Amino acid sequence: MWPLFVVLGLVAAFIAGYRWYENGISLTLVTNPAMSMVSLDDKPVGVSDSSGRLILPHIARGSHSITVSHDGYQPYIQTQIIGSFALNAAYNLTLLQQTYRVTVQTRPPFSNVYVDDKLAGKSDAFGVLIIPAVSDGQHILKIQSTGFPIETMPIEIHSDNLVYNIDLAAKMAEMIQEKSADLQRAHELFQLQNFDAAIAACDAVLGIFPNDADATSLRAQIQQTKAIVSH
């Protein structure tokens, strides 16, 4: 039989060890991005701070499900086994950005499509380009085709299967109509000897069509006539 003091010592050690085990461990989570929502075993436990850190004291040892979520990112869900003899544990949890499929329809076909100044591809013979993964948030969509004006537009992506129709041909037709109207106006102002306004109308055309022969010729004629009249 063991002496009483030995038995008491073993009991005290057992109680201390049990309390130590019951107190659990300190769990440190570092999330990317910061300010992410964290749940442990499907129960919300807090939000990581501006540096992405969240400390959870007194977490029971064993298997736990960790869920991290943040707007614009795919949820992180993973089961971690926290060691029986650990005093603390730390995990770095990185979320992947949420992405969505975007369809761009262009006219004319075979147009270059850019997202945030990065070439996403070229539309096909039907004018269709499917971009499989565009990250959640705001972007700049740009369409470019030889002989047509460049179209740039802001877009905001928060869901799948968005479709954007970009008609460069229609925009070109509008610009040609505006060009004709500006040239007609320039001619009328020239006849009225309103030289400065006539030159401004020519400049409006050249601002869109820098190499337009009609606007260039008319502008030179107006400037020459203005110089003669001024003398």
Closest Cα to residue 141, out of 156, 125, 123, 158?
Answer: 156
Q: Which residues contact 221 (CB under 8 A, 6 or more apart)?
A: 190
Same domain, 163 and 204: no
Q: Is 2 a member of any domain?
A: no
User: Domain ends where: 79, 94, 109?
Assistant: 94
Q: Is residue 121 helix, strand or coil?
A: strand
Same domain, 144 and 177: no
Domains contained in the chain, number = 3
For residue 13, the model assigns a pLDDT of 45
Do 105 and 123 touch, CB atoms closer than 8 A? yes
Q: Is 20 a member of any domain?
A: no
Q: Is residue 7 helix, strand or coil?
A: helix
What CATH number corresponds to the domain at position 35? 2.60.40.1120
Structural domain containing residue 195: 171-230
| Region for 114 from its dihedrals, namely left if φ exceeds 0, alpha if ψ lies in -120 to 50, beta otherwise | beta
User: Domain ends where: 145, 169, 193?
Assistant: 169
For residue 142, the model assigns a pLDDT of 97
For residue 18, the model assigns a pLDDT of 44
For residue 1, the model assigns a pLDDT of 56
Same domain, 134 and 184: no
Q: Is 7 a member of any domain?
A: no
Q: Is 8 a member of any domain?
A: no
DSSP characters for 64-96? EEEEEE-TTBPPEEEEEEE-TT-SEEEEEEEPP
User: Would you call 197 exposed, middle or buried from its count of C-beta atoms within 10 A (0-12, 13-18, 19+)?
Assistant: middle
Same domain, 49 and 75: yes
Q: Is 155 a member of any domain?
A: yes
What CATH number corresponds to the domain at position 117? 2.60.40.10
Same domain, 176 and 162: no
Same domain, 148 and 180: no
Q: Is 194 a member of any domain?
A: yes
For residue 196, the model assigns a pLDDT of 94
Same domain, 108 and 164: yes
Q: Is 216 a member of any domain?
A: yes
For residue 147, the model assigns a pLDDT of 87
Same domain, 116 and 163: yes
Tens digit of pLDDT per residue, the chain (231 long)? Answer: 556 544 444 444 444 444 444 557 888 999 999 999 999 999 999 999 999 999 998 888 888 999 999 998 999 999 988 766 667 888 999 999 999 999 999 999 999 999 999 999 999 999 999 999 999 999 999 999 998 989 999 999 998 889 999 999 999 999 999 999 999 999 999 999 999 999 999 999 999 888 999 999 999 999 999 988 877
Q: Is 5 a member of any domain?
A: no
User: Domain ends where: 65, 94, 123?
Assistant: 94
Do 140 and 153 touch, CB atoms closer than 8 A? yes
